[in-house]
Amino acid sequence: MFDTLVFVVASSLKNTRLQKIAQYLYSKQIRLEILAWLRDRKDLCNDNKFISINYLVKSGGYGGIRLIFYYLVFIIKGFCELSKRSYKNKVFFAINFESGLILYLLSLFRQDVIYIYEIRDEFTKSHKMPSLVTKLVDNVEIKIRKRAFVTIHVDDNRLSNLDNNAIVIYNAPYDFFKGDFILPAYKKKFAVTGWLSSNRGMDSIYHFAYDNPSYEFIIAGRFTDSSLKRKFIDLPNVVYYDFMPQNTLFSLIKDCQGIFSLYDPSLEINRLAASNKLYDAMMLGIPVIVNFGILAADYVEKNGIGYVVNYLYDETWKILLDRALDRIEFMGNNGREIYYSNYELTFQLDSKLLPILKKLDLKF
């Protein structure tokens, strides 16, 4: 019997999906530990869900060529740290390639290493690399998947015959309303959340906000470009917040008439984006705003749960200013019904993750 689950993740404890899964496991009284990467000192926090928190790397940020060095440091330190530990009664939960590689390498030397492998973004689709390096990383990725006890994907479009044993846990939130949902009184405001960068439509959103001063824009997240941040903050109709707990965010944006989820379609990883903003909007009963050229656009149009505009700000964006409440309510209600029937996170984890943990004989 295993008595502890150890997360290995190249991000901080504030990562939204990590927090959602850890919250569920903690509610089941599962002992949790974590090996993580503190990319930014602003992300430092305490978390009593974990009995042990170990930051393998405490710098590096989120972009730039130096990340190559820090990824190598994370992998080497992670391997060395776990090599000298006893993990006889522990199951590992590795998130993304860099963490999966640590556990795969350990498993070559120790047959008792058992890990769950979650792929949120494929490494070679997230980072530009020479073709030979891309091919090498992809080959190692296959080996990591095949040795994993189970592979978790965040969307159906990520499944492939490379998986040995795979499930999908969609990137959805818990139900903020706890089943007691009433359609909101949609106000003249829009929400933009998460990582705020040019390849997530922020330049287009800026022009849209500038041209429509009678609409309020709630911007909540972290900018990757300080000059872009200053431009937004200077607009009188923009209210800016840094990252915050998810339920605090939902309280702020639950009466918006639209939530943006834009991705530059020229990037392959963006075309496949499994955005939590899509599911957040559905849960809140708010139309989601996506752009043509990504897979989510077809889903949004087919199910009537939001708007599809061009990625670059143009005439197609005028549809967002339509204040016909019956239309907004129709889209919001469609999204809410689909979310509650298919994607509510407790339902997903109970039906998909919990059986795996029981099969592993993890102590509750």
**Predicted confidence (pLDDT) per residue in 267-309, tens digit:** 887 888 778 999 999 999 999 999 999 999 999 999 999 999 9
The strand pairing partners of 288, in sequence order, are 259, 306
Mean pLDDT of 334-346: 97
Taking 90 as the threshold, does the pLDDT of residue 336 lie above it? Answer: yes
Q: Which residues contact 55 (CB under 8 A, 6 or more apart)?
A: 36, 37, 38
Give the model's pLDDT for residue 20: 95
Give the model's pLDDT for residue 324: 92
Phi, psi at 118, each rounded to 5°:
-105, 125
User: How sure is the predictor about 190, in pLDDT bands with cuts at 50, 70 and 90?
Assistant: very high
Give the model's pLDDT for residue 134: 85
CA-only gyration radius of the chain, Å: 21
Give the model's pLDDT for residue 250: 97
* Angle, vertex CA 67, rays to CA 41 and CA 85, nearest 5: 75
Mean pLDDT of 74-87: 90
Q: Between β-strands 90-95 and 4-9, what pairing exists: parallel, antiparallel or unpaired?
A: parallel
Q: How far is CA 40 from CA 12, 37, 43, 59, 102, in A?
A: 8, 9, 6, 6, 22
Give the model's pLDDT for residue 112: 86
Mean pLDDT of 107-129: 85
The strand pairing partners of 57, in sequence order, are 37
User: How sure is the predictor about 25, in pLDDT bands with cuts at 50, 70 and 90?
Assistant: very high
Q: Between β-strands 189-196 and 216-223, what pairing exists: parallel, antiparallel or unpaired?
A: parallel
Taking 80 as the threshold, does the pLDDT of residue 63 lie above it? Answer: no
Mean pLDDT of 16-41: 94
Walk me through the domains of the chain, giving residue ranges and CATH numbers.
Answer: 4-172+345-359 (3.40.50.2000), 189-342 (3.40.50.2000)
User: How sure is the predictor about 218, in pLDDT bands with cuts at 50, 70 and 90?
Assistant: very high
Residue 287 carries which side chain, given as an amino acid letter? P
Mean pLDDT of 330-357: 97
Residues 105/115, Cβ–Cβ less than 8 Å: no
User: How sure is the predictor about 108, in pLDDT bands with cuts at 50, 70 and 90?
Assistant: very high
Token representation of residue 93? 């939960």
First vs last Cα of the chain: how many Å apart?
Answer: 10
Give the model's pLDDT for residue 325: 93
Give the model's pLDDT for residue 123: 75
Q: Of 145, 139, 93, 129, which is closest to residue 114 (Cα–Cα)?
A: 93
Q: Which residue's entry shows tokens 């003249």?
A: 188
For residue range 222-254, list pLDDT tens digits in order. Answer: 998 999 999 999 999 999 999 999 999 999 999
Q: Which residues contact 15 (CB under 8 A, 6 or more apart)?
A: 9
> What percentage of the chain reaches a pLDDT higher than 90?
77
The strand pairing partners of 252, in sequence order, are none
Mean pLDDT of 83-110: 92
pTM above 0.85, yes or no: yes
For residue range 121-176, list pLDDT tens digits in order. Answer: 877 677 677 888 888 888 999 999 999 999 999 998 888 887 878 999 999 999 99
User: How sure is the predictor about 61, in pLDDT bands with cuts at 50, 70 and 90?
Assistant: confident
Q: How far is CA 27 from CA 23, 221, 233, in A?
A: 6, 27, 39
Give the model's pLDDT for residue 119: 94
Give the model's pLDDT for residue 58: 92
Give the model's pLDDT for residue 43: 84
User: How sure is the predictor about 319, in pLDDT bands with cuts at 50, 70 and 90?
Assistant: very high
Q: Of 119, 112, 169, which is closest to residue 144 (Cα–Cα)?
A: 119
